[in-house]
Chains A and B, each alone.
Chain A
Amino acid sequence: MSASVHTAPELLGETPVTPALGAEPRDWLLLLKPRVISLVVFTGAVGLVTAPGHINPVLGAVAIFCIALGAGAAGALNMWYDRDIDALMKRTLARPIPAGKIEAGGALGYGIVLSIISVLLLAMATNLVAAGVLAFSIFYYAVIYTMWLKRRTPQNIVIGGGAGAFPAVIGAAAVTGHITALPVLLFAIVFFWTPPHFWSLSLFASIDYEKAGIPMLPVVKGAKHTRLNVLVYALLLLPLAVSPWPLGLTGPVYGLTALISSLVFVYYCWGVYADKQDAKGVSLTKDKPARAAFKYSILYLFILFLACAVDHLV
């Protein structure tokens, strides 16, 4: 039998035609946004590995688990709040709540309980600084980004980018008990990486955002303005990404990798800016450069953080 009992169009239209059979365990896991978690685990682990000091491997593993759990909890709260607009967008239509697999109240409770567990467990396993930053990151994503900024300003993901930037700080704080320079720089890198990453996506998914009434930059200011901003943020990111090397926080392994991969990112973003377009900036190439930049942006962040960890270990 199909896992989908009734779909969002049915929920938004007439009465559902089939009875709810309840969620699969997989649906509850999907509520945690596993793809986001994988990136969060990675950046958190790099923060933990590159921090000066020592942490027991068991406590380190628990710290990473707590970061993942906290990120998942924030994801569940995000899906609970955004269930109305998720049902309007093709990309999010199949999420457990708009698909009718999990009730909204259940998702809210799930998010709150996991948030509390993740913060308390991290405090128990490591220290209050790491737990405090984790608590703030959940609040930042669920309340500041999701409930406040996302539907109000085209700068939503610029400020919201901070939410995804916390794991490296939490990972490092779990080891040291305070906030040091390198994780702050890693935070800044993720912060400045987020706008070109999401705006590249929004260039080819802007119809979805427009339908849902989300004021993403291409919807409010147009594609041309967005293309320029993608390039500007990529250019700002370049010196920032390399900066840990001249500041003596990392070695040449990271520095050279950051320099090369950042130049490649600027090249991709230049492609977005210079894409064949009409007078309004709408792509005539089905947004091929934006799709390529979006894909590379994920690899780029992975390369930067991996290089940071390798640099620390060699």
Chain B
Amino acid sequence: MSIDDRMPPTGLGQTNWTDEQRAEFLRRRRARNLLLLGALAGFCLIIYAVAIVKLHEYGQMW
């Protein structure tokens, strides 16, 4: 059996969690979502900045 097969199921469907574990799961999920949001916002800002600089300096994107 590989490592992948032994990964236990993740999610709120877990029935054997304590309140503390459930709260920890929610905290980690929120943190991951915020990181993803930040990454997407940052990516948009980079594209925007590159477009402005290239259009300003070279008059074209490519």
Which A residues lie at the B interface, using CB under 8 A?
Answer: 1, 6, 8, 11-12, 15-16, 19-25, 28, 56, 58-59, 62, 65, 83-84, 87, 97-98, 100, 103-105, 117, 121, 124-125
Residues of B participating in the A interface, judged by any CB pair closer than 8 Å: 2-4, 6-10, 14, 16-17, 20-21, 24-25, 28-29, 31-32, 34-35, 43, 46-47, 49-50, 53-54, 57, 61-62
Distance to closest chain B CB from A7 (angstroms) = 12
User: What's the minimum C-beta distance from A8 to chain B, rounded to whole angstroms?
Assistant: 8
Closest-by-CB residue of B relative to A87 is B3
Residues A103 and B57 in contact in the complex (CB < 8 Å), given A22-B32, A24-B28: no
Which residues of the partner chain A approach B7 to less than 8 Å between Cβ atoms? 20, 100, 103
Tell me whether A97 and B46 are in contact in the complex, defined as CB-CB below 8 angstroms, given that A19-B8, A19-B17, A59-B53 are known contacts.
no
Measured CB to CB, the nearest residue on chain A to B16 is A19
Please state if B2 and A24 are interface contacts (CB–CB under 8 Å).
Answer: no
A22 with B29: CB separation less than 8 A: yes
Q: Once the chains bind, are B32 and A103 in contact (CB under 8 Å)?
A: no
Q: In the complex, what distance in Å separates the CA atom of A24 from the CA atom of B31?
A: 7
Q: How far is the CA of A4 from the CA of B35 in the complex (A)?
A: 20
Shortest distance between the CB of A309 and any CB in chain B (Å) = 23
Known contacts: A20-B8, A21-B21, A124-B61. The answer to whether A62 contacts B3 by CB under 8 A is: no
